[in-house]
Amino acid sequence: MKAAQHTRYGDEQNLHLLELAPPKPGPDDVVLKVVATSINASDWEFLSGTPAYSRIMGLTRPRKVVLGSDISGIVVAVGANVKEFAIGDEVFCDNFEVFGGFAEMARVPVGKLLRKPATISHVQASAIPQSAVIALQALRKYGDVTAGQQVLINGGGGGAGSFAIQFAKQAGAHVTAVDHANKLAFMSELGADSVIDYQQQDVTHGLQRFDKIVDFVGHHSVRDYFRILQANGSYVIVGGLLRDILSTLTLGSLLTWVSGKRMSILAHQQNATDIMSVVRQVEQGNIRICVDRTYPLQDIRSAFQHFREQKVLGKVVIEIEGKY
């Protein structure tokens, strides 16, 4: 089978399309013919080896050589203990830890697998698992969003941010979304009440105060975020530099202890209930899955280049079926 492999950290030029042996299922695994796998920021981080925490799976060289965790496809083989799924089933998953989605076939532990409803395409299904779930879990970490709350989404135009804006609006919040100038109109279309270009305005130095801040990118100090929280407000960092995450864990915890404000990191829990709740919302027409562009597997380098060009509105997806 063809797979995009990388054996050293660096940019997308380190991805090579190679012929590899197809995966075999262990007793509790299935093997999928991959139809679509979306790119997450975490794929870029594991490809490049930055931030430093992305080297947790290999300090000097990557141990996961075929990336891609949000996979949608068709079951082509099942392990001896697998009773829930059969060959031909259409499924999708968050295959984080195992990865392998940037390939024609991927091994997935059965516990991670969900049935793909016929109401959404494989491309759409691949865009949901990690992005939508981190958005959902970050927003509700300190209680559900309630109507009228002031919510700040930092990185609102990206994969997770595009879901977060919509979830917060669904709950009736007033949403301020921050991202690159190229994404301001997109974030407004998703429902953001106020949009900010991070290159033009520093939201942490404004007068507005927030009940909830969900931060997908970091880039500001914990003190700055603390200042713009309402008295009972909360700040959750989902992604960012190791420095940002460590200072939230240390200074943020201290500030949480001495004030009514709460500051912490998100530890994302893969969760079938959350993923399927998003699918239901999509089916009801409440939430849009935003796929900016799809690329065939052989153009995976271009896909990652586009991912880094500061133009992507929502998600980029690699489509694999029928291209070879």
49 binds ligand NAP (CB under 6 A): no
CB burial of 74-84 (b: ≥16 within 10 Å; e: otherwise) equals bbbbbbeebee
Nearer to ligand NAP, 100 or 157 (CB): 157
Do the Cβ atoms of 157 and 313 come closer than 8 Å?
yes
157, 234, 281, 287: which one binds ligand NAP (CB under 6 A)? 157
Do the Cβ atoms of 38 and 44 come closer than 8 Å?
no
Site for ligand NAP in 113-152 (CB under 6 A): 130-131, 134
DSSP class of 252: I
Task: Give the chain's length.
Answer: 324
Nearer to ligand NAP, 29 or 70 (CB): 70
100 binds ligand NAP (CB under 6 A): no
Q: Exposed, middle or buried by CB within 10 Å (0-12, 13-18, 19+), for 270?
A: middle
Cβ neighbors of 279 (< 8 A, separation 6 or more) are 117, 119, 120, 125, 128
Which amino acid is residue 195, in one-letter code?
V
186 binds ligand NAP (CB under 6 A): no
241 CB-side CA count, 13 A: 7
263 binds ligand NAP (CB under 6 A): no
Nearer to ligand NAP, 82 or 237 (CB): 237
Binders of ligand NAP: how many residues, by CB under 6 A? Answer: 28
266 binds ligand NAP (CB under 6 A): yes
Cβ neighbors of 26 (< 8 A, separation 6 or more) are 79, 107, 109
**Cβ-defined contacts of 80-83 (< 8 Å, 24+):** 80/27, 81/27, 81/28, 81/110, 82/25, 82/27, 82/28, 82/29, 82/30, 82/110
175 binds ligand NAP (CB under 6 A): no
129, 233, 239, 252: which one binds ligand NAP (CB under 6 A)? 239
Nearer to ligand NAP, 73 or 161 (CB): 161
Nearer to ligand NAP, 131 or 176 (CB): 131
161, 166, 190, 297: which one binds ligand NAP (CB under 6 A)? 161
179 binds ligand NAP (CB under 6 A): yes
Nearer to ligand NAP, 116 or 268 (CB): 268
Contacts with ligand NAP by CB under 6 A lie at 40-42, 45, 130-131, 134, 154-155, 157-161, 178-180, 183, 198, 216-217, 219, 238-239, 266-268, 310
